[in-house]
């Protein structure tokens, strides 16, 4: 147990890394792990998938809501989902971490535990990192994956007639964020999300889960296009539509179970239109990290994919997303850069 | 030419990326470049080398001294050097970039040009990235390299009797930083480092150069241990000594040309002991990004390595660095984390 009063500024970089490295178990693909100028990772199929994502304090998380463990889990999961969305399995991560001097060392070791807990179960590992001081916490993760001979699944392969399917949760992270926001506005008696009927939604925001096995499974099943839904279903479906030159038509009825599940939370927050609020979370909420994929009609969908729409040919109005054939009546979603 | 008045906050993430991606030429190893959930990079020898390094505004650079181009070059070079230090050739980089809203867009596109100019000549490319808003600029780069069948060169293989050799510049970056510091304290009439007899030293700090070919060449020549000198010769030699369980004895006479070259700058800065100041820069100055390597005695040193000392067996006082057999009389070097 790290002394909670021990701060980052009390240690030098070497001492801090000495507390972090032992928390990071080696991965199945690791030849040389942390501690040298670089790590060496195996890439048995002669290629590797690589992606990077950055989390910035007070943009992507707040320290009063998210523990170091939560941030570590989130940073890992959002990166792992990018690998899965290519049809690959995650193998190795490196992490650049910027920390203020007054951050407790325990926050950093909790972050390492969160990273380890999200990566170890899928056979991936943190193989290297860098630490720097700074005024706000920044966690930049780069993730790598192995395609095991699969063709990488791009966003650009969707064809008219394909089924649009989604794996993972829809709108939970946005609902969880709204609940945390409301609790902050009207302080309650417990730690945010620690208990109560909506605790799973709050956890969905703080510690998102991604259906990582579904990515390679979709590739094996013949998915034509796929991407990670990090910025909201509408926004990310729009990216797939533009990359593929098609119209993605979502099916409102297919999203009804999600809307029904989240309407109670919208009601509890005082929404005058709980179903509308829940639908907005489902369509525009970011950071759920599900996978959106298209499959040729008739393809048996691998678990846990569920059909949520169809791909239509362009009709003169350009690539876009429709809901039951019409322009959706909610905003486009989350912009990580400019905020909502 | 980007309008200098156009700020980051005037664009959304997609618009900003659309200005950056065209500045990043594809690399020789790139299968899938920027724009999808992840890139795909070839790893012909079934492994890849990977390392990450982060630069933080006002910790590692100041915007009034360093242009976006300078920071891009520096971020690339310090990462490329880590790959070279393993005996590998750089292939691909990904970049996570945090930018304040009031940063000119031209600063970001200049950064991309700096990254491209440092990576393209060695056949490497930026294959992906992420952008976020934040209060200070943070540039987190992850670099990958190809060993082409070579054994990765670790820090731990130095043996008593080995020659210690260095490739690259020594102390120039620290001298350049001291010159910039002095010009700021006593404002001069020109842009820092733009001209004058010491401009090459200032450039050595702003736009460091690393002997990237020397890494694989050292591996091919049979180097027993190697690392990138980013935190000062003494500090990094100490890391090699500890990892290998040896004493690294540096030869003061071998460093004399560097001391002589930098003493004029120390004199111009008013040092009462110009040779001593120059020696401190050579021994303790960070961010030169040369390579320190050990070779079995009698090995012909590949260019541009120069012998700077010998490896001695442990003598009861533990792994350490000595200068002509004695404890060096200057500090240990640069701590990127806590500062100097």
Tell me the per-residue pLDDT of B46-74, one tens digit each, with 9 for 90 and over: 999 999 999 999 999 999 999 999 999 99
Which residue among B49, B131, B152 sits closest to A337, beta carbon to beta carbon?
B131
Contact at CB, A31 and B47, closer than 8 angstroms:
yes
In CATH terms, A163-323 corresponds, of 1.20.1250.20, 3.40.50.2300, 3.40.50.10890, 3.90.650.10, to 3.90.650.10
Residue B155 annotated as binding?
yes
Tokens of A115: 């990273």
The angle subtended at Cα B181 by Cα B176 and Cα B186, nearest 5°, is: 125
CA atoms within 13 A on the CB side of A304: 10
Which residue of A18, A37, A49, A77 is the best one to mutate when testing the B interface, meaning the one whose CB has the most B CBs within 10 A? A37
The confidence score (pLDDT) of residue A304 equals: 97
Section B102-110 average pLDDT: 97
Contact at CB, B86 and A40, closer than 8 angstroms:
yes
Contact A254/B at CB under 8 A: no
| Interval A208-226: pLDDT, tens | 999 999 999 999 999 999 9
Domain B8-146: give its CATH superfamily.
Answer: PurM-like, N-terminal domain (3.30.1330.10)
Residue B287 annotated as binding?
yes
Chain B: closest CA distance from residue A14 (Å): 9
| B106: number of Cβ within 10 Å | 18
Window 135-164 of A: residues touching B by CB (8 A cutoff) are 135-136, 138, 140, 142-145, 147, 152, 154-156
> DSSP letter at A296?
-
Window 20-49 of B: residues touching A by CB (8 A cutoff) are 31-32, 35-44, 46-49
**Average pLDDT, rounded, for chain B:** 92
pLDDT in tens, chain A (340 residues): 678 889 999 999 889 999 999 999 988 899 999 989 999 999 999 999 999 999 999 999 999 999 999 999 999 999 999 999 999 999 999 999 999 999 999 999 999 999 999 999 999 999 999 999 999 999 999 999 999 999 999 999 999 999 999 999 999 999 999 998 887 665 554 444 456 789 999 988 999 999 999 999 999 999 999 999 999 999 999 999 999 999 999 999 999 999 999 999 999 999 999 999 999 999 999 999 999 999 999 999 999 999 999 999 999 999 999 999 999 987 555 554 443 3
In angstroms, the CA B99 to CA A19 distance is 30
Q: A85-116 burial, b for 16+ CB within 10 Å, e for fewer?
A: bbbbbbbbbbbbbbbbeebbbbbbbbbbbbbb
In angstroms, the CA B250 to CA B254 distance is 8
Enumerate the CATH 3.90.650.10 domain ranges in chain A, comma separated: 163-323
Chain B: closest CA distance from residue A183 (Å): 25
Which residue from B minimizes the CA distance to A60?
B132
Residue B156 annotated as binding?
no
Tokens of B244: 């290998």
Which residue among A40, A88, A138 sits closest to B98, beta carbon to beta carbon?
A138
Contact B170/A at CB under 8 A: no
Residue B66 annotated as binding?
no
- Which residue has tokens 């724009």? B35
Residue B146 annotated as binding?
no
Section B278-300 average pLDDT: 96
Please list, in sequence order, all residues whose beta carbon lies within 8 angstroms of the beta carbon of residue A68, skipping any fewer than 6 positions away: A106, A107, A108, A109, A110, A111, A113, A114
Section B308-333 average pLDDT: 90
Quick one: angle between helices A68-84 and A105-119, nearest 10? 30
- Which residue has tokens 């303790």? B284
Q: B149-159 burial, b for 16+ CB within 10 Å, e for fewer?
A: ebebbbbbbbe
Which residue from A minimizes the CA distance to B225?
A36
Residue B129 annotated as binding?
yes
Give which of B150, B151, B147, B144 is closest to B40, Cα–Cα. B144
Contact at CB, A51 and B92, closer than 8 angstroms:
no
Contact at CB, B36 and A227, closer than 8 angstroms:
yes
Burial of B182 (0-12, 13-18, 19+ CB in 10 A): middle
In angstroms, the CA B45 to CA B307 distance is 32
- Beta strand B125-133 with B39-42 is unpaired
Question: How many residues make up chain A in this entry?
Answer: 340
Please list, in sequence order, all residues whose beta carbon lies within 8 angstroms of the beta carbon of residue A112, skipping any fewer than 6 positions away: A20, A23, A24, A72, A126
| A268: number of Cβ within 10 Å | 14
Phi-psi region of B32 (alpha: psi -120 to 50; beta: other; left: phi over 0): beta
List chain B residues with CB under 8 Å of A142: 50, 52, 94, 96, 142
| Interval B178-233: pLDDT, tens | 998 887 665 554 444 456 789 999 988 999 999 999 999 999 999 999 999 999 99
Chain B: closest CA distance from residue A267 (Å): 32
Which residue among A42, A54, A335 sits closest to B46, beta carbon to beta carbon?
A42
Cβ pair A181, A270 in contact under 8 A: no
pLDDT greater than 90 at residue B329: no
Enumerate the CATH 3.30.1330.10 domain ranges in chain A, comma separated: 8-146
Quick one: angle between helices A274-284 and A256-268, nearest 10? 120
In angstroms, the CA A67 to CA A172 distance is 19
pLDDT greater than 80 at residue B94: yes
Cβ pair B245, B306 in contact under 8 A: no
Chain A: closest CA distance from residue B332 (Å): 13
In angstroms, the CA B320 to CA B318 distance is 6
Contact at CB, B92 and A127, closer than 8 angstroms:
no
Window 79-138 of B: residues touching A by CB (8 A cutoff) are 82-83, 85-86, 88, 92, 94-98, 127-136, 138
In angstroms, the CA B85 to CA B156 distance is 13
> DSSP letter at A317?
S
CA torsion angle B183 B186 B189 B193 (round to 10):
0
Cβ pair A109, A150 in contact under 8 A: no
Window 309-338 of A: residues touching B by CB (8 A cutoff) are 335-338
Bond from prior residue into A84 cis (ω within 30 degrees of 0): no
């Amino acid at each position: 147990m790290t002394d909670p009063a021990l701060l980052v500024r009390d240690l030098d970089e070497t001492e801090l890394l000495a507390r972090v490295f032992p928390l990071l178990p080696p991965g199945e693909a690791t030849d040389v792990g942390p501690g040298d100028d670089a790590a060496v990772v195996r890439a048995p199929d002669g290629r590797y998938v690589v992606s990077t994502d950055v989390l910035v304090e007070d943009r992507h998380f707040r320290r009063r809501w998210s523990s170091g463990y939560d941030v570590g889990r989130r940073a890992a999961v959002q990166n792992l989902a990018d690998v899965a969305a290519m049809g690959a399995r995650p193998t190795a991560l490196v992490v650049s971490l910027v920390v203020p001097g007054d951050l407790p060392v325990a926050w950093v070791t909790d972050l390492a535990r969160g990273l380890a807990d999200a990566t170890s179960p899928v056979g991936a590992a943190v193989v290297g990192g860098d630490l720097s001081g700074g005024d706000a916490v920044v966690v930049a993760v780069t993730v790598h994956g192995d395609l095991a001979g699969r063709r990488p699944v791009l966003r650009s392969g969707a064809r008219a007639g394909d089924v649009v399917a989604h794996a993972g949760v829809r709108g939970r992270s946005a609902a969880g964020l709204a609940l945390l926001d409301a609790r902050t506005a009207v302080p309650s008696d417990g730690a945010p999300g620690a208990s109560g009927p909506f605790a799973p939604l709050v956890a969905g925001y703080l510690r998102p889960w991604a259906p990582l096995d579904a990515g390679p499974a979709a590739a094996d099943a013949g998915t034509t296009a796929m991407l990670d839904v990090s910025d909201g279903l509408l926004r990310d479906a729009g990216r797939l539509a533009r990359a593929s030159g098609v119209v993605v038509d979502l099916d409102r009825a297919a999203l009804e179970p999600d809307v029904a599940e989240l309407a109670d939370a919208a009601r509890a927050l005082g929404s005058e239109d709980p179903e509308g609020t829940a639908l907005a979370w489902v369509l525009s909420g970011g950071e759920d990290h599900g996978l959106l994929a298209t499959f040729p009609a008739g393809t048996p969908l691998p678990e846990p994919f569920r059909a949520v729409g169809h791909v239509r040919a362009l009709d003169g109005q350009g690539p876009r997303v429709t809901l039951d054939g019409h322009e959706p009546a909610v905003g486009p979603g989350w912009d990580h850069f400019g905020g909502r």
